[in-house]
Amino acid sequence: MALSRLASSSSSSRSADLLKPLCSAISLRRPISTDTTPITVETSVPFTSHQCDTPSRSVQTNAKELLTFFRDMALMRRMEIAADSLYKAKLIRGFCHLYDGQEAVAVGMEASITKKDCIITAYRDHCTFVARGGTLLEVFAELMGRQAGCSRGKGGSMHFYKKDSNFYGGHGIVGAQVPLGCGLAFAQKYSKDEAVTFALYGDGAANQGQLFEALNISALWDLPAILVCENNHYGMGTAEWRAAKSPAYYKRGDYAPGLKVDGMDALAVKQACTFAKEHALKNGPIILEMDTYRYHGHSMSDPGSTYRTRDEITGVRQERDPVERIRKLILSHDLATEKELKDIEKEIRKEVDDAIAQAKENPLPESSELFTNVYAKGLGVESFGADRKEVRAVLP
């Protein structure tokens, strides 16, 4: 009996050994390319310039960068769609402005700069934060007001922040981030950092007086400031042609040069930002107008369909979608298969779901957090009750 068991065991062992190569062959699939061999791609449309040369339409890229672009933009897209669902489930409260459709601006800009360079933006800031290295947990925790959020749950959708990557937010006052961005550029020049600041604003903020004041002093002092107008063609529900006599925002600087860029083409954005950084370090400020589009409404309270047609939105999705453009480029150069790209998207869905689950379990901030980040620490400031007599707390 022992011999028969041994014979049976030996037979099954041999069978397993014989099957090993077959199993390996079945599970074998071509690894997704991470080759860095240069690939030259032409931008979708030419750049248009004002008082400066135009960058070349031929952009150097490689398999690794294109696949990174695809993954990053697909992640941003899924993240924003998930935020939409969380808002409708009342797990996210207050203002919430989504970025889906504009992802190429965030990834293309990040590909052309370093973490020494600063970025400051308005309230549509989730994807810019992720491009700067922020995590999904930090995003969803902040959106849901939890301790693990990038601003400790106290900023919410409009006030993301990541100091270690020189991302300075997330600002709710229309156009107010532009003078702050020019101040960051002043600090960079003063410190001789050889770095630049990208100050982002929308077409709805392009008529703000403070923008022109900040640009004027930046030009006078040759500050390394790059003003980026993310022109998604609607300031809230107002079309650009109804709000601006001159919607050629890249020309608005008059004495400052400008460049119009296809903001739905990540490689065009990368090329333009590389050009702008070099210019700003040598000559001072420059304006970039990113011709882009948002699929959602202005905010979650805006259905986004009362001032534009559904056919318009569908047309942009079909013809100019930034994620699909990179997908087609990857497939045309045989860098990955359609199935491999779908597998990446499945992984992303799981990552987003896992991050949401973690964020839901994360605690709300302690009540003592109400008193932090208001006054400088160590001053012993006292908090009184309504009658101004009883001391309620000594602030940290």
The confidence score (pLDDT) of residue 24 equals 38
Single pTM value for the model:
0.88
Which pLDDT value is given to residue 30?
56
**Residue 295, pLDDT score:** 97
Q: CA–CA separation, 289 vs 45, rounded Å?
A: 14
> How far apart are alpha carbons 22 and 27 in whole angstroms?
9
Q: What is the pLDDT of residue 22?
A: 38
Please state which of the ranges 7-16, 241-250, 285-294 shows the lowest mean pLDDT: 7-16
Give me the mean pLDDT over the 233-243 stretch.
95
Q: Report whether 355 contacts 137 (CB < 8 A).
A: yes
What are φ and ψ of residue 384, in 5° steps?
-105, 165
Alpha helices in 150-265, H assignment, sequence order: 177-190, 209-220, 240-243
Query: How far from chain centre, in Å, is Cα 15?
Result: 53
CB atoms within 10 A of CB 165: 19
Query: Which are the contacts of 296, defined by CB distance < 8 A and separation ≥ 6?
Result: 80, 84, 98, 100, 101, 302, 304
DSSP alpha helix (H) spans, 103-232: 103-111, 126-131, 136-143, 177-190, 209-220
User: pLDDT digit string (tens) for 148-157?
Assistant: 999 999 999 9
Q: CB within 8 A of 214, min separation 6: which ones?
A: 178, 179, 181, 182, 199, 225
pLDDT digits (tens, 9 = 90+) for 29-63: 455 667 889 999 999 999 999 999 999 999 999 99
In angstroms, rounded to a whole number, what is the distance separating the alpha carbons of residues 176 and 162? 18
Mean pLDDT along residues 98-108: 98
Give the whole-number percent of the chain exceeding pLDDT 70: 89
pLDDT above 50 for 14: no
Kindly state the average pLDDT of the residues 274-297: 98
Report the alpha-carbon distance of residue 93 to residue 308 in Å, rounded: 26
SS (H, E, C) 365-396: CCHHHHHCCCCCCCCCCEEECCCCCCEEEECC
pLDDT at residue 6, as a whole number = 39
Instruction: Flag whether pLDDT at 13 surpasses 90.
Output: no
pLDDT at 386: 72
- Rounded Cα gap, residues 201 and 303, in angstroms: 22
Q: What is the pLDDT of residues 250-273, one digit of tens each?
A: 999 999 999 999 999 999 999 999
- Asked if 64 and 33 touch (Cβ cutoff 8 Å), the reply is yes
Mean pLDDT of 291-320: 95
Cβ atoms < 10 Å from Cβ of 306: 8
371 band by pLDDT with thresholds 50, 70 and 90: confident
User: pLDDT of 70-96, one tens digit each?
Assistant: 999 999 999 999 999 999 999 999 999
**In the block, residue with structure tokens 């952009």:** 59
Tell me which of 21-25, 103-107, 229-233, 239-243 is least confident. 21-25
pLDDT band at 3 (very low <50, low <70, confident <90, very high): very low
pLDDT at site 233: 96
Could you tell me which residues are beta bridge partners of residue 61? 39
Using DSSP bridges, classify how beta strands 225-231 and 58-61 pair: parallel, antiparallel or unpaired. unpaired
- Tell me the domain boundaries of the chain: 42-365, 368-395
3-state secondary structure of 151: coil
For residue 158, give the amino acid letter: M
Specify the 3-state DSSP secondary structure of 228: strand
CATH of domain 42-365: 3.40.50.970
pLDDT, tens digit, for every residue of 146-194? 999 999 999 999 999 999 999 999 999 999 999 999 999 999 999 999 9
Residue 20: count of CB within 10 angstroms of its CB: 10
Amino acid identity of residue 366, one-letter, is: E
pLDDT tops 50 at residue 313: yes
The rounded distance, in Å, linking the Cα atoms of 161 and 183 is 17
What is the structure's pLDDT at 370?
81
Supply 11's token pair.
């037979």
Rounded to whole angstroms, the Cα distance separating 132 from 198 reads: 12
Residue-averaged pLDDT of the chain: 91
pLDDT at 130: 98
